[in-house]
Chain A
Amino acid sequence: MARFRVNGKEHQLDIEPDMPLLWALRDELGLSGTKFGCGVAACGACTVQVNGNPVRSCVTPVSAVEGSDITTIEGLAVNASLTPVQQAWIDHQVPQCGYCQSGMIMAVSALLASNPSPSDAEIDGAISNVCRCGTYPRIRQAIRSLRASA
Chain B
Amino acid sequence: MKMNRRRFILGSTLVGGGLLIGYAASRPSKHRVANRDAGERPYLTTWLRIAPDNTVTVLVPHSEMGQGILTSLPMMAADELDADWNLVRVEQAPATDLFANGVLIKGFAESMGVSIPGVLDGLASAATMKVAEIMNMQITGGSSSVRFTGEHGMRVAGAAAREMLLKAASARLGVPESELSTSLSFVHHRASGRSLTYGELASDAARFEPSSEPILKTPEQFTLMGRSIPRVDIPAKVDGSAQYGIDAHLPGMLYAAVKTSPVFGNRLQSVGNTEAVLQRRGIKRIVELDDAVAVVADNYWRAQQALALLDIRFEETTNDSVNSRSIYAQYDTALQDELNEDVIEGDAPGFLASASDIVEATYRVPYLAHAAMEPMNCTVHFHDGRCDVWTGTQDNLGIRGRVAKVAGLDENSVTLHASYLGGGFGRRLPTGTNTIDQATQIASHFDVPVKTLWSREEDMQQDYYRPAVTSKFRAAFDNTGKLMAWENHYIGKNEPAEAAHTPYSIPHKHIAYALSDTHVPFGAWRSVAHSQHTFFLESFVDELAHRSGQNPYQFRLNMLADKPRHAAVLRAAAQKANWERNLPAGHAQGIALQESFGSIVAQVAEVSIRPDGSVQVHRVTCAVDCGRAINPDTVASQVESGVIFGLTAAMYGEITIDKGRVVQRNFPDYDMIRLRDTPQIDIVNVESGEALGGLGEPATPPIAAAVANAVYILTGQRVRELPLKNYRFTAAPVESAV
B361 within 8 A of A: no
- Is B243 an interface position by the 8 A CB rule? yes
Q: Is the CB of A137 within 8 A of B678?
A: yes
Q: Which residues of B contact A90 (CB under 8 A)?
A: 230, 234-235, 238
CB pair B675 A37 closer than 8 Å: no
A139 to B455 Cα, complex, angstroms: 27
B241 touches A134 (CB 8 A): no
Residues of A close to B240: CB separation below 8 A: 31-34, 72-74, 102
State the CA gap A35–B377 with chains docked (Å): 13
Contact B300 A27 (CB under 8 A): yes
The stretch of B95-103, B511-519, B637-645 in contact with A is B637-645
Q: What is the distance, in angstroms, from A6's C-beta to the closest C-beta of chain B?
A: 12
Task: Mark out the residues of chain B between 408 and 462 whose CB falls within 8 Å of any chain A CB in the assembled complex.
Answer: 420-425, 453, 455-456
Contacting pair A100 B373 (CB below 8 A): yes
The docked-state distance in angstroms from the alpha carbon of A101 to that of B637 is: 15
A44 to chain B, nearest CB (A): 9
Interface 1/0 per residue, A37-69 and B, CB below 8 Å: 111101101000000000000000000000000
By a CB distance below 8 angstroms, the chain A residues around B641 are: 96, 133-135
**Is B668 an interface position by the 8 A CB rule?**
yes
Indicate if A115 sits at the interface (CB-CB under 8 A). Answer: no
B237 within 8 A of A: yes
Residues of B within 8 A of A102 (CB): 240
Q: In the bound complex, what is the Cα–Cα distance between A86 and B234 (angstroms)? A: 10
Contact across chains for B246 and A36 when beta carbons are under 8 A apart: yes
A23: B residues at CB distance < 8 A: 299-301
Instruction: Kindly identify which residue among B424, B633, B675, B680 contacts A124, using a CB–CB cutoff of 8 Å.
Output: B675
B456→A27 contact, CB < 8 A: no
- Is A3 among interface residues, defined by CB-CB distance under 8 A? no
Q: Is A97 in contact with B675, judged by CB distance below 8 angstroms?
A: no
Q: A128-B675, A136-B673 are in contact. Are A38 and B666 (CB under 8 A)?
A: yes
- Number of A-B contacts defined by CB within 8 Å: 177
Interface string of B183-203 (1 = CB under 8 A from A): 000000000000000000000
Q: A32-B247, A36-B246, A93-B230 are in contact. Are A135 and B420 (CB under 8 A)?
A: no
In the complex, whether A8 has a CB less than 8 A from a CB of chain B is no
Closest to A89 in B: B238
Q: Which residues of A contact B675 (CB under 8 A)?
A: 123-124, 127-129, 136, 139-140
Contact B234 A95 (CB under 8 A): yes
Known: A20-B301, A133-B373, A134-B644. A33 touches B422 (CB 8 A): no
Q: In the complex, which residue of chain B has the Cβ closest to the Cβ of A75? A: B240
Give the contacting residue for A95; candidates B237, B456, B640; CB below 8 A.
B237
Q: Residue A132 contacts which of B239, B371, B455, B640 (CB distance < 8 angstroms)?
A: B371
Task: Indicate if the CB atoms of B249 and A30 lie closer than 8 Å.
Answer: yes
The answer to whether B299 touches A27 (Cβ under 8 A) is yes
CA distance A140 to B421 in the complex (A): 24
Bound-state CA distance A82–B666 (Å) is 34
Q: How far is the CB of B455 from chain A (nearest CB, A)?
A: 6
Cβ-based interface call for B255 (8 A): yes
Name the residue on A nearest B641 (C-beta). A134
From A26, A72, A101, A136, B238 is in contact (CB under 8 Å) with: A101
Within 8 A of B (CB), among A74-127: 74, 76-77, 82, 86, 89-90, 93-102, 105, 123-125, 127
Judge whether B667 and A19 touch: CB under 8 Å. Answer: no
Q: Is A130 an interface residue (CB 8 A)?
A: yes
What's the minimum C-beta distance from A25 to chain B, rounded to whole angstroms? Answer: 11
- Distance between A39 CB and nearest chain B CB, rounded to angstroms: 6
Q: Give the chain A neighbours of B644 by CB distance below 8 A.
A: 134, 136
Using Cβ atoms and an 8 Å threshold, which residues of chain B touch A37?
Answer: 373-375, 456, 667
Which A residues are in CB contact (< 8 Å) with B2? Answer: none
B674 within 8 A of A: yes
CB distance from B708 to the nearest CB of A (A): 19
Q: Using Cβ atoms and an 8 Å threshold, which residues of chain B touch A99?
A: 244, 372-374, 420, 422-423
**In the complex with contacts A38-B456, A45-B373, A93-B633, A133-B423 CB distance below 8 A:** yes
Interface of A is mostly: loop
Cα–Cα, bound, A86→B373 (Å): 20
Instruction: Report the nearest A residue to B237, measured CB to CB.
Output: A98
A90 to B237, alpha carbons, bound, how many Å?
A: 9
Give, as a whole number of angstroms, the nearest-CB distance from B528 to chain A.
18
Interface flags, A1-37, vs B, CB<8A=1, else 0: 0000000000000011001100100111011111111
B231 within 8 A of A: yes
Contact, CB under 8 Å: B231 / A93? yes
How long is the Cα–Cα vector from A69 to B418 in the complex, in angstroms?
34
A70 at the interface (CB under 8 A from B): no
Q: Are B678 and A98 in contact (CB under 8 A)?
A: no
A20 to B300, CA, bound (A): 11
User: Which of B231, B301, B678 has the most chain A CB atoms closer than 10 A to its own CB?
Assistant: B301
Check B678 against A130 for contact (C-beta < 8 Å).
no
> Contact between B643 and A95 (Cβ–Cβ < 8 Å)?
no
Nearest-neighbor residue (CB-CB) of B250 within chain A: A30
Interface positions of B from 614 to 646, Cβ below 8 Å from A:
633, 637, 640-645
Instruction: Looking at the assembled complex, report how far the CB atom of B554 sits from the nearest CB atom of chain A, in whole angstroms.
Output: 30
A77 to B637, CA, bound (A): 26
Complex CA distance for A103 and B373, rounded to whole angstroms: 12
Say whether A138 contacts B247, CB under 8 Å.
no
A100 partner residues in chain B, CB cutoff 8 A: 373
Q: When chains A and B are docked, how far (Å) is the Cα of A38 from the Cα of B281?
A: 24
Are B373 and A95 within 8 A (Cβ)?
no
Query: How does the 8 Å CB contact mask read for B642-657 relative to A, with 1 for contact and 0 for none?
Result: 1111001000000000
Cα A107 to Cα B292 with chains together (Å): 37
Contact yes or no, A33 B241, CB < 8 A? yes
- Interface hub of B234, B239, B456, B648 (most chain A Cβ within 10 A): B239
Contact A132 B373 (CB under 8 A): yes
Contact of B455 among A39, A98, A140 (CB under 8 A): A39
- Tell me the chain B residues, 354-389 only, with Cβ under 8 Å from chain A: 371-375
Contact A27 B238 (CB under 8 A): no
Q: How far is the CA of A139 from the CA of B644 in the complex (A)?
A: 13
How far is it, in angstroms, between the C-alpha of A64 and the C-alpha of B370 when the chains are bound? 34
- Assess the A137–B676 pair: CB atoms within 8 A: no
The answer, yes or no, to whether B704 is at the interface (CB within 8 Å) is: no
Near A by CB (< 8 A), chain B positions 663-687 give 666-668, 672-676, 678, 680-681
| B114 interface contact, C-beta 8 A | no
Contacts of B241 in A (CB 8 A): 33, 74
Q: Is B233 an interface residue (CB 8 A)?
A: yes
Residues of A within 8 A of B421 (CB): 97
- Tell me whether A86 and B239 are in contact in the complex, defined as CB-CB below 8 angstroms, given that A19-B299, A42-B667 are known contacts: yes
Cross-interface CB contact of A97 among B243, B423, B668, cutoff 8 Å? B423
Contact B300 A130 (CB under 8 A): no
Interface residues of B in 242-292 (CB under 8 A from A): 242-244, 246-247, 249, 255, 281
Chain A residues in 8 Å Cβ range of B247? 32
User: In the assembly, what is the distance between CA of A77 and CA of B238, in Å?
Assistant: 10
Contact B239 A73 (CB under 8 A): yes
- The docked-state distance in angstroms from the alpha carbon of A12 to that of B371 is 35
Interface centre among A31, A36, A74, A129 (most CB of B within 10 A): A36
Interface centre among B240, B255, B424 (most CB of A within 10 A): B240
Contact indicator B676/A138 (Cβ below 8 Å): no
The distance in angstroms between the C-alpha atoms of A28 and B675, with both chains bound, is: 33
| A85 nearest in chain B by CB position | B238
Question: Residue-by-residue, is B391-418 near A (CB-CB < 8 Å gives 1, otherwise 0)?
Answer: 0000000000000000000000000000
3 cross-chain pairs, A with B, having the tightest CB-CB distances, nearest first = A33-B240, A134-B644, A96-B66
Q: Sample 11 A-B pairs with CB under 8 A, ordered by A number.
A: A23-B300, A36-B375, A37-B456, A93-B230, A95-B237, A96-B66, A99-B374, A133-B645, A136-B674, A137-B681, A139-B675
Question: Could you list 9 further interchain pairs (A-B, Cβ under 8 angstroms) beyond the known A16-B281, A97-B65?
Answer: A33-B240, A37-B456, A72-B240, A97-B423, A102-B240, A105-B238, A123-B675, A130-B674, A136-B673
